[in-house]
């Protein structure tokens, strides 16, 4: 086998391995933040109580900056607030429906109704106040 064919075969096997690993990843992070999609969005946001959806994209620096804040809030308010993350690059129906023009955008639902929209990055204390006032 030529060197080029060996390299291509190695690349193909590695890609297949990575895809298998990706499919096995849980839909919930360690901090109990649920992966939300266009398909499960309505069911997810219709839950009783307070539901928070972080609309983000992997390339967005402010989104990456608030990710630890969201995870920390999810941990601190476990059992009281349900948190989810919606990747706007992979899901276009929800961002279109809610006219999300910039990210990060945090959508806050109470008993299935949109009660707040938080746009942009901010300090944890301010975000926490904006979200918890709906408890």
Distance of CA 127 to the CA centre of its chain: 16
Q: Which residues are catalytic?
A: 60, 63
Query: What whole-number distance in Å separates Cα of residue 40 and Cα of residue 43?
Result: 5
């Amino acid at each position: 086998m030529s060197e080029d064919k060996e390299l291509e075969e190695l690349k193909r096997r590695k890609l297949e391995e990575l895809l298998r690993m990706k499919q096995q990843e849980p839909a919930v992070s360690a901090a109990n933040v649920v992966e939300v999609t266009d398909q499960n969005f309505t069911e997810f946001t219709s839950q009783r109580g307070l539901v928070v959806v972080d609309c983000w994209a992997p390339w967005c620096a402010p989104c990456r900056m608030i990710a630890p804040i969201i995870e920390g809030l999810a941990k601190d308010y476990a059992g009281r607030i349900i948190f989810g993350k919606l990747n706007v690059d992979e899901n276009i129906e929800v961002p279109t429906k809610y006219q999300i023009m910039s990210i990060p955008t945090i959508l806050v639902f109470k008993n299935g109704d949109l009660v707040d929209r938080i746009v942009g990055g901010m300090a944890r204390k301010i975000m926490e106040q904006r979200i918890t006032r709906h408890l």
